[in-house]
Amino acid sequence: SAHRLAATAAALALLAAAPPAAAQSELLFLAEDVPAGLNYDGPAAAIPTSQTGMVNVMEPLIGYASAGPNEEGVILPDFSEFEGRLAESWSFDPETLTWTFNLRRGVIGCGGAEFTADDVLYTFARAKSVSGAAPIGWFLSNVGSVANFTPAVFGDEAARALGDEVVKVDDYTVQIRQAEPNALFLPVLTIFGLYMFDKEGMEAEATADDPWSHEFANNRGVASFGPYCVESWTKDDEIVFTANPN
């Protein structure tokens, strides 16, 4: 079925269109505002409504499994168990402090591009560039002890280039190396500030002055692999998401 998600300053509307003969259903729930930005390295990243937008249009490598509904019927995450999202499986080599992620195949983003290792490398390279107003991607990588994601990036432009800490093995395999053992590595991957970008879609919006497409994600949309795509977005008024057809 086709789905449409609209957020306004008064409400969020989820429209689920069943087969043509069936009636549409509509679910409304209150929200403070529409997203102020969809760039987790941007100036509006700390605003909860922006984060709500991001998790609708982007997707992480891994997430938490479901713990099922609580007494009030709210479905909560199980913070003791991880499950694959854009990554299908992963393993850890304690000798080299290297995580190997096997990526899910056949994932198509809103722009029609397939998710591959290049998108993972782009996401971490963008984070390490600390080019946004709020370098949350770098911060979470640092918290998880990803190698070379140190404060040196703020004083040394050469240190901002992605090196062998995140490596493409093949189109569907990526390795990420830690500087030291740190149990926070997997948890930080579940947080909105390390959701995956669509390299092809983001680079299509890049300019010489803005090579990481911050203006696009701050104001007009974002290229990723989430369940919804941005159909239209008017700041302080309305944002409309449509279901990712893939």
Angle at 86 between CA 227 and CA 107, to 5 degrees: 65
Instruction: Report the pLDDT value the prediction gives residue 12, as an integer from 0 to 100.
Output: 42
pLDDT digits (tens, 9 = 90+) for 69-88: 999 999 899 999 999 999 99
Instruction: Report the pLDDT value the prediction gives residue 28, as an integer from 0 to 100.
Output: 52
Name the residue with higher pLDDT: 102 or 28.
102
Average pLDDT in the chain: 90
Return the biggest CA–CA distance within the chain: 61
- Which long-range contacts link 85-92 to residues 24+ away (Cβ below 8 Å)? 85/59, 85/60, 85/61, 86/59, 86/60, 86/61, 86/115, 86/196, 86/225, 87/61, 87/62, 90/61, 90/62
Token output for 153: 């990036």
Q: What's the pLDDT band for 17 if we cut at 50, 70, 90?
A: very low
Instruction: Report the pLDDT value the prediction gives residue 33, as an integer from 0 to 100.
Output: 86
Instruction: Report the pLDDT value the prediction gives residue 4, as an integer from 0 to 100.
Output: 59
| Whether the Cβ atoms of residue 206 and residue 213 lie closer than 8 Å to each other | yes
Tell whether the model's pLDDT for residue 60 goes beyond 70: yes
End-to-end CA distance of the chain: 12
Cβ neighbours of 208 (radius 10 Å): 5
**Euclidean distance between CA atoms 51 and 48, whole angstroms:** 5
Token output for 161: 């280039």
Which uninterrupted H or E stretch holds 201? helix 199-203
pLDDT digits (tens, 9 = 90+) for 117-143: 999 999 999 999 999 999 999 999 999
Instruction: Specify the pTM.
Output: 0.89
Instruction: Report the pLDDT value the prediction gives residue 14, as an integer from 0 to 100.
Output: 41
Q: What's the pLDDT band for 30 if we cut at 50, 70, 90?
A: low
Kindly list the distances between the CA atom of residue 229 and the CA atoms of 112, 156, 167, in Å, as whole numbers in the listed order: 11, 36, 28
Q: What's the pLDDT band for 236 if we cut at 50, 70, 90?
A: confident
pLDDT digits (tens, 9 = 90+) for 31-40: 778 999 999 9
